[in-house]
Amino acid sequence: MCADTPDTLPKFAVETSVLSKTYPAERGGPVVEALKSVSLTIPRGSFFGLLGPNGAGKSTLINILAGLVQKTSGEARIWNFNIERQMRQARRAIGVVPQEPNIDPFFTPRELLDLQAGLYGMPKAERRSDEVLQAVGLSEKAHAYARSLSGGMRRRLLVAKAMVHSPQVLVLDEPSAGVDVDLRRQLWTHVRDMNRRGTTVLLTTHYLEEAETLCDTIAIINHGRLIACDPTERLLARIDSKQMTVTLDADLSTLPTNLHSFNAELRGLRHVVFSYAPSRINSGQILAAIDAAGLCIADLTTREAELEDIFLRLTKKTDLEAG
Ligand code: ADP
Ligand code: MG
């Protein structure tokens, strides 16, 4: 019988409750409200994406969880352990691959991992340094000085360092920044594999596409505020938006009523902008409606939603789904 029977495991690997962080003013500048009342739950076992542009507050959130930055208010739990009141347990449950690679150049990978495992109080017999090094493809470099490792190898060593105490939650802060395609693929294969075997993964990125392909749940943060958190498919359906601009061959004073259902908007006298969800409406239906209204098209352009549009869309209070 396993000690961790399913019903003793927490439902959420990470929970934050109205978590806020204000960095004090520096050299007469303003204070920075990096996180504003963020309440978030990360289901156990998920591959969770925290998406947001640079400066959104992603690293601040990660660093609070990792115990590297002190929160201003609110609460956070990792594996049900309060990050303040049960700091040791909370720290053991999480492994963080930081955004900035900071490796002590005078240790070998093997030494670094042993040291890290030791920090977490792992008995020698339970240390998996060699296994972890192999998992990230660094066995051959186990005894080389870290300073002799290439950028890609250092990145992998950081992943190994975050994993060596077998944390339930693995956090990767912008792991793709400055990483070549091959290494990225290797890293993802490895992290996906860990996720399949039960590790909860929290990934921050400013690439929608990366979050979209890897994550089963995506939260979006902008200016320190959580603006969305949904299963990936549902989120994509929400932001599933395209725009089609039609230029007519004659002036129009009012929009024909049969176009209202396509979120159409008349701009000037000859341009009609349609904002629609491609999962539910295809451009053919719009063209047919234009035709049915007796209008003739002179020109036509379409545009996919960009990350910026998505933020605007999600922060706007208008409910486009109702439209
Ligand atoms: P992200 O990781 O999403 O790019 P960060 O959490 O790094 O965002 O930063 C959020 C905001 O907090 C930014 O405006 C950033 O300049 C500010 N910030 C981050 N760290 C500090 C710090 N140590 N002192 C002051 N301001 C900071
Ligand atoms: Mg960051």
Name every residue whose Cβ is closer than 8 Å to that of residue 32 and which is 6 or more positions away in sequence.
22, 23
The predicted-structure confidence for 270-312, as pLDDT tens digits, reads as follows 999 998 888 788 889 999 999 999 999 999 998 766 666 677 7
Tokens of 58: 């992603």
Residue 206 Cβ inside 6 Å of ligand 1? The answer reads: no
Q: What is the pLDDT of residue 305?
A: 64
16, 20, 23, best to mutate for ligand 1 pocket (most atoms within 8 Å of CB): 23
What is the residue-averaged pLDDT of the chain?
87
59, 62, 204, best to mutate for ligand 1 pocket (most atoms within 8 Å of CB): 59
Tokens of 180: 């070549």
Statement: residue 158 has pLDDT above 80:
yes
Residue 60 Cβ inside 6 Å of ligand 1? The answer reads: yes
Q: What is the pLDDT of residue 317?
A: 44
The predicted-structure confidence for 122-135, as pLDDT tens digits, reads as follows 888 777 888 888 88
322 pLDDT band, cuts 50/70/90, is very low
d(CA 86, CA 144): 37
**CA triple 43-94-132, angle to 5 deg:** 110
102 pLDDT band, cuts 50/70/90, is confident
Average pLDDT on 183-187 reads 80
222 neighbors 53 (Cβ within 8 angstroms): yes
Statement: residue 67 has pLDDT above 70:
yes
220 CA → ligand 2 middle, Å: 14
Average pLDDT on 228-235 reads 88
Domain over 242-304 is classified CATH 2.60.40:
no
Q: Where do the structural domains in the chain lie, given as residue ranges? A: 242-304
Average pLDDT on 174-191 reads 80
Ranked by mean pLDDT, the top range of 60-74, 130-144, 165-179 is 60-74
Q: Among residues of the chain, what percentage have pLDDT more than 70?
A: 93
Residue 93 carries which DSSP code? T
224 CA → ligand 1 middle, Å: 9
Residue 107 Cβ inside 6 Å of ligand 1? The answer reads: no
Statement: residue 240 has pLDDT above 90:
no
DSSP 193-239: HHHHTT-EEEEEES-HHHHHHH-SEEEEEETTEEEEEEEHHHHHHHH
d(CA 226, CA 42): 13
Ranked by mean pLDDT, the top range of 8-22, 235-249, 299-313 is 8-22
Statement: residue 179 has pLDDT above 80:
no
Ligand nearest to the CA of 52: 1
Ranked by mean pLDDT, the top range of 2-11, 67-76, 103-112, 172-181 is 67-76
Q: What is the pLDDT of residue 149?
A: 87
3 state SS for 118-166: HHCCCCHHHCCHHHHHHHCCCHHHCCCCHHHCCHHHHHHHHHHHHHCCC
